[in-house]
Amino acid sequence: MPSEILRLRASIDNIDAALVHLLAERFKLTRQVGELKAIGNMPPADPSRDAQQIERLTAIAEASGLDPDFAVQFRQFIVSEVIRRHELIAREHAGETMPELDTYA
C-alpha cells in the first residue's frame, strides 16, 4: 500500500474515533433529555427543534463544503435512533408509574 494512503488512513482513523466519541457523548445527553421528557409527559419527537436543527446544519454544511442533503440524512439517521430510545424510556417510565394491577385486572 502506498505510504501516502497509509498516512491519510491514519488521519481517517483518528476522525472515525472522534466521531464515535462525539456520538457517545451526544447519546448520553439525549438520554437525559429523553428521561426529562418522560417525566414531563412530553412526546419523544420535537418537530420545531428538528426544523431549527435542519436549517442550522444545512447552513453549516454549505459553508463547510459538505453536501447539505448528506448532512440532513446523517442527522435524521441519528435522530431516528434517539427517538426510538426516547420511546423506550417513555414506556419504561409509564410502566414504573402505573399502579399495581390485581390478578383480575
Residues in contact with ligand ISJ by the rule CB under 6 A? 30, 33, 45-46, 49-50, 53, 79, 82-83
Would you tell me the crossing angle of helices 47-64 and 68-97 to the nearest 10 degrees?
Answer: 150
Smallest gap from residue 86 Cβ to ligand ISJ (A): 6
Residue with the three cell numbers 448528506: 70
Closest to ligand ISJ by CB, 79 vs 90, is 79
Residue with the three cell numbers 429523553: 34
For the four alpha carbons of 5, 24, 89 and 56, in that order, the dihedral sign comes to: negative
Smallest gap from residue 92 Cβ to ligand ISJ (A): 16
How many CB atoms within 10 Å of residue 86? 23
Closest to ligand ISJ by CB, 66 vs 85, is 85
Chain CA centroid to CA 55, Å: 17
Smallest gap from residue 31 Cβ to ligand ISJ (A): 9
Closest to ligand ISJ by CB, 45 vs 72, is 45
